Structure 1
């Protein structure tokens, strides 16, 4: 059984999902892959301790603090490859960005491979079921391209700006010029 709870945030409504008192989902309303790892058996239960902890974490994050992930029991459901990518995402410091290629290089080293596809990494990043908390918004394309975000590029920019990242240094998708946000 999966339990759901909503959290109102500056980037929109976030649906939180838990299973066995562990956080398995945090999806921004309208997110591309919303609920792809949650089965149909769900029940609203906003009073679970994991939801209280997650709401506190999100309150701290949106108030400008840098909450620690160790405060939450995360259990994203994915393949071993995706889980490895999400583990790397959790290590990206607040207010910093990394490229898909950099993550691919880390994966190649961890798996003793000569190289790893940045596109495969992009697929794993895009299917992150615990948005914001597992900070997939901190991943950018090569040469500073602000590429896809399942919650929408506008939300990715908003989150990066919230963390103090100068987004005017990045190329906006499909525009071919520097952003002036």
Structure 2
């Protein structure tokens, strides 16, 4: 398993993976940047940096998140949420075919091992509230604003 850490606008991101793909991406308030980026993780680092620069709206590097079949199903549904859009936990549960599974969906969402790449930050409360986010609600708000910036209309 290879590992690397680098600075993002939201803290220090750490990526872990091997020849099967990236298995974990996390964020922390503190940490130390790695020196050299392992070859196997270079594409993931490049794409995440492009995302923060505003030059990438989806990720296509090899991924290998570990989880149950249900978690994998939820994470796949998260990947399908378009950039700049949100969905409620209730609507996500409906999309997955079981409105009663809302708590299980929320739990799987919270166990997402691929920060930003599997965009769990795009899931909000039915009332539009920014509910629950493992990285902190301030990061969720930042990510949603990054993906959907408000533009000032020109008066002239």
Tell me the TM-score normalised to structure 1 length.
Answer: 0.75
1:26 is matched with 25
Over 3 Å off, 4+ runs: 44-47
Q: Taking structure 1 as reference, are residues 102 and 24 closer, same or farther at Cα in structure 2, changes over 3 Å only? A: same
Q: How does 1:51-66 map to 2 (within 5 A)?
A: 51-66=41-56
Whole-angstrom distance in 2 between the partners of 1:5 and 1:146: 30
1:101 to 90, 105, 116: 90
Residues 1:87 and 2:86 aligned together: no
Q: Taking structure 1 as reference, are residues 165 and 138 closer, same or farther at Cα in structure 2, changes over 3 Å only? A: farther
2:112 to 128, 144, 156: 128
Report the 3-state secondary structure (helix = DSSP H, G, I; strand = E; otherwise coil) of the residue aligned with 1:69: coil
Q: How does 1:145-160 map to 2 (within 5 A)?
A: 145-160=129-144
C-alpha contact 1:104 1:116 (8 A) present in aligned 2: yes
> Where does structure 1 lack aligned partners over 5 or more consecutive residues?
31-43, 167-181
Report the 3-state secondary structure (helix = DSSP H, G, I; strand = E; otherwise coil) of the residue aligned with 1:7: strand
1:47 is matched with 37
C-alpha contact 1:25 1:130 (8 A) present in aligned 2: yes
2:145 is matched with 161
1:13 is matched with 12
1:19 Cα offset (Å): 2.8
